[in-house]
């Protein structure tokens, strides 16, 4: 039973008073403090965070850090890294950080050191990936694979797809990765039409190996392989690999033992790209770059667990979010990467954040009385400038923005990259400063907050750091809100009802709306 109540803390009450009293603008904060930029920025390896354009005074920031200290944050950080079962509703540890752990020494879970199994699975994944890349691992017709299709959904799809897209400059020529998640049959058919069965390998990613959408797509893929190659049980060949926490179920499906890689129930789906679920990433960018990806995340892990809150990137970003959403009334956050390779990052972070902290039950089993998980959304710049930036600049809502960009660009026009970066910097400045006009339609009020996150370059190491930064930011906010960031019971009801409807031929006992929708989609006669 949780004994911590956010609103009962002295810091929460002090912040409530501050939010009512503070009237200064961002421009005034800079005018009043010549050192604000230096005080409100952090550099960690190849990441630079400028959080000076936030609607926060020194007093408010100090109060937010007091809240972090008054909350059980330090204890919860230590407990997570130690393997304590902080996922209380499922009685599980939360150890995605162990998947990228670099320092030596055992990590005990229920009295057993889990690090040997982690290292063995990582070695197996790297070995399999490299054998596919080299052509040593061959198809039933003796050919090297040219196309890899990852079949999963949620964390088993979006994370690997995001990383493969972001790091596409490191992809091996002639080797293409594709992703199937939705059960939209038209999309599955369109993809299969582009592939040659003789050189296509399917990776079925499912924690339980019972996920309905994943198995339905896998069944379609296996039928296509069987018909195209004129074979029975294609799942028993090298054309099929399983990634699962339920290896026995994968064996019963017909997957060969050598083609099964495992991860564990203490790895949440949306945090699983560091595990064997990242096989498609490892195939795409190679084992060397995949290790750099893990190493980057491990650097951020160490920063998070060992750095004081006042210089801790995840903690500071999290507490600024708390300020906006709990004290200043913001309802959403926008993530705008000025890099087209990061096109799936907003969607990935949307799942990571909203599935983690979209909760209304406290750890103590009561209904939360405060606002939790904000809506997270976004798109790449400069495209967004010609879409929703109108609302950011002149709308009635306060939407904090995270701008993300890489300073260096390894390909393409240097001039175009500079134009891209200047657009981002201009948008951040324009949101803060605004522009006065006596014509209300042309007036920009300004005072709109943003962070700017600069990566020295976009590569495996910096992407690993960036993802881990947001993972920990989300965890911190969950602790402050006294919720469990690591279950996802909210996704279960719709899935269960869909299964019931698929098996149901009689609709009379359904509510009138549902019954009519079923009748129309089944093209049944009116009763």
Q: How confident is the model at residue 509 (pLDDT cuts 50, 70, 90)?
A: confident
Instruction: Name the catalytic one among 3, 103, 386, 441.
Output: 386
CA–CA dist 499, 504 (Å, integer)? 9
CA–CA dist 315, 381 (Å, integer)? 26
The whole-number pLDDT of residue 411 equals: 85
The whole-number pLDDT of residue 494 equals: 81
Residues of the chain with pLDDT > 70, as a percent, come to 99
Q: Mean per-residue pLDDT for 179-203?
A: 95
Q: What number does CATH give the domain 6-70+307-484?
A: 3.40.50.10490
Q: At CA 102, angle to CA 100 and CA 103, rounded to 5?
A: 140
All residues at 6 or more sequence positions from 137 whose CB lies less than 8 Å from its CB, including other chains: 128, 131, 145, 238
CA–CA dist 433, 522 (Å, integer)? 56
Cis before 382? omega within 30 = yes
Fold match, 6-70+307-484 / 108-289? yes
pLDDT digits (tens, 9 = 90+) for 66-97: 999 999 999 999 999 999 999 999 999 999 99
Number of other residues whose CB lies within 10 A of the CB of residue 58? 13
The whole-number pLDDT of residue 382 equals: 95
pLDDT digits (tens, 9 = 90+) for 416-456: 999 999 999 999 999 999 999 999 999 999 999 999 999 99
Q: Mean per-residue pLDDT for 505-515?
A: 75
Q: Mean per-residue pLDDT for 327-352?
A: 97
The whole-number pLDDT of residue 132 equals: 98
Q: Mean per-residue pLDDT for 253-263?
A: 96
CA–CA dist 468, 512 (Å, integer)? 46
**At 487, is the secondary structure helix, strand, or coil?**
coil
Nearest to 95 by CA among 108, 245, 479: 108
Instruction: Name the catalytic one among 355, 359, 417, 472.
Output: 355
Q: Mean per-residue pLDDT for 136-163?
A: 97
CA–CA dist 86, 77 (Å, integer)? 10
Q: What would the DSSP string read from start to end of 156-188?
A: GTHHHHHHHHHTGGGSPTT-EEEEE-S--HHHH
Q: For the ranges 70-74, 308-312, 514-518, which has the lowest average pLDDT?
A: 514-518
Q: How confident is the model at residue 508 (pLDDT cuts 50, 70, 90)?
A: low
pLDDT at 23 over 80: no
User: Does 355 qualify as catalytic in the annotation?
Assistant: yes
Q: How confident is the model at residue 511 (pLDDT cuts 50, 70, 90)?
A: confident
Number of other residues whose CB lies within 10 A of the CB of residue 248? 10
Domain boundaries along the sequence of the chain: 6-70+307-484, 108-289, 491-521
In the chain, the largest separation of any two C-alpha atoms, in whole Å, equals 76
User: Does 43 qualify as catalytic in the annotation?
Assistant: no
All residues at 6 or more sequence positions from 203 whose CB lies less than 8 Å from its CB, including other chains: 148, 149, 150, 151, 152, 241, 242, 243, 279, 280
Decide if 341 contacts 405 (C-beta within 8 A): no
pLDDT at 1 over 60: no
Q: At CA 100, angle to CA 350 and CA 293, rounded to 5?
A: 65
The whole-number pLDDT of residue 527 equals: 75
Number of other residues whose CB lies within 10 A of the CB of residue 260? 21
The whole-number pLDDT of residue 525 equals: 82
pLDDT digits (tens, 9 = 90+) for 194-230: 999 999 999 999 999 998 899 999 999 999 999 999 9
Residue 177 has phi, psi (to 5 degrees) of -110, 135
Token pair 């090297």: residue: 144
Q: How confident is the model at residue 506 (pLDDT cuts 50, 70, 90)?
A: low
Phi-psi sector, 206: left (phi>0), alpha (psi -120 to 50), beta: beta
Q: For the ranges 69-78, 154-163, 517-526, which has the lowest average pLDDT?
A: 517-526
Instruction: Name the catalytic one among 233, 311, 442, 495.
Output: 495
pLDDT at 2 over 60: no
Q: Tell me which fold the domain 108-289 belongs to.
A: Rossmann fold (3.40.50)
DSSP label at residue 208? S
Q: Mean per-residue pLDDT for 350-371?
A: 97
All residues at 6 or more sequence positions from 41 whose CB lies less than 8 Å from its CB, including other chains: 48, 49, 50, 51, 52
Number of other residues whose CB lies within 10 A of the CB of residue 433? 17
Q: At CA 482, angle to CA 9 and CA 312, rounded to 5?
A: 80
Decide if 482 contacts 5 (C-beta within 8 A): yes
Q: How confident is the model at residue 524 (pLDDT cuts 50, 70, 90)?
A: confident
pLDDT at 296 over 60: yes
Average pLDDT score, the chain: 95
Q: How confident is the model at residue 102 (pLDDT cuts 50, 70, 90)?
A: confident
pLDDT at 117 over 70: yes
pLDDT at 157 over 90: yes
As a residue count, the chain comes to 527
Decide if 243 contacts 210 (C-beta within 8 A): no
pLDDT at 361 over 60: yes
């Amino acid at each position: 039973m949780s004994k911590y109540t956010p609103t009962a803390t002295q810091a929460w009450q002090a912040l409530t008073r501050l939010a009512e009293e503070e009237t200064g603008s961002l421009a005034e904060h800079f005018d009043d403090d010549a050192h604000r930029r230096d005080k409100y920025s952090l550099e960690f390896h190849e990441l630079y965070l400028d959080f000076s354009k936030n609607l926060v005074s020194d007093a408010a920031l100090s109060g937010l850090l007091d809240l972090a200290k008054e909350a059980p944050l330090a204890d919860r950080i230590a407990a997570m890294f130690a393997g304590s079962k902080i996922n209380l509703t499922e009685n599980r540890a939360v150890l995605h950080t162990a998947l990228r752990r670099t320092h030596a020494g055992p990590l005990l879970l229920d009295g057993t050191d889990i690090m040997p199994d982690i290292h063995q699975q990582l070695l197996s994944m790297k070995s399999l990936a490299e054998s596919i890349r080299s052509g040593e691992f061959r198809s039933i017709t003796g050919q090297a694979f040219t196309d890899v299709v990852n079949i999963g959904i949620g964390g088993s799809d979006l994370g690997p797809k995001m990383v493969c897209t972001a790091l596409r400059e490191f992809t091996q020529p002639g080797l293409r990765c594709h992703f199937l998640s939705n059960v939209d049959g038209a999309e599955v058919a369109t993809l299969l039409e582009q592939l040659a069965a003789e050189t296509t390998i399917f990776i079925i990613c499912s924690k339980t190996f019972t996920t309905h959408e994943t198995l339905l797509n896998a069944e379609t893929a296996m039928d296509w392989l069987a018909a195209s190659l004129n074979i029975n049980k294609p799942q028993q060949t090298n054309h099929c690999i399983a990634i699962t926490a339920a290896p026995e179920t994968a064996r019963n499906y017909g997957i060969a033992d050598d083609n099964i890689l495992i991860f564990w129930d203490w790895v949440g789906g949306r945090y699983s790209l560091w595990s064997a679920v990242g096989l498609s990433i490892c195939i795409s960018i190679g084992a060397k770059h995949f290790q750099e990806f893990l190493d980057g995340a491990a650097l951020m892990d160490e920063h998070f667990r060992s750095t004081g809150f006042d210089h801790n990137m995840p903690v500071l970003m999290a507490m600024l979010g708390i300020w906006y959403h709990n004290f200043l009334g913001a309802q959403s956050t926008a993530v705008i990467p000025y890099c087209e390779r990061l096109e799936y990052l907003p969607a990935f972070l949307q799942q990571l954040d909203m599935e983690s902290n979209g909760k209304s039950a406290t750890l103590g089993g009561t209904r939360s009385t405060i606002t939790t998980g904000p809506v997270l959304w976004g798109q790449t710049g400069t495209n967004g400038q010609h879409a929703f930036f109108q609302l950011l600049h002149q709308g009635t809502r306060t939407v904090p923005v995270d701008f993300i960009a890489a300073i260096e660009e390894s390909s393409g026009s240097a001039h175009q990259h500079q134009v891209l970066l200047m657009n981002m910097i201009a948008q951040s400045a324009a949101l803060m400063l605004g522009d006065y006009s006596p014509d209300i339609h042309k007036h920009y009020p300004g005072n709109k907050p943003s962070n700017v996150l600069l990566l020295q370059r976009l590569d495996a190491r910096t992407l690993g750091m960036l993802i881990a930064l947001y993972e920990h930011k989300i965890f911190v906010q969950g602790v402050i809100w006294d919720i469990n960031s690591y279950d996802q019971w909210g996704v279960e009801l719709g899935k269960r009802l869909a299964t019931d409807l698929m098996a149901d031929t009689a609709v009379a006992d359904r509510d009138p709306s549902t019954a009519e929708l079923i009748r129309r989609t089944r093209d049944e006669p009116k009763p």
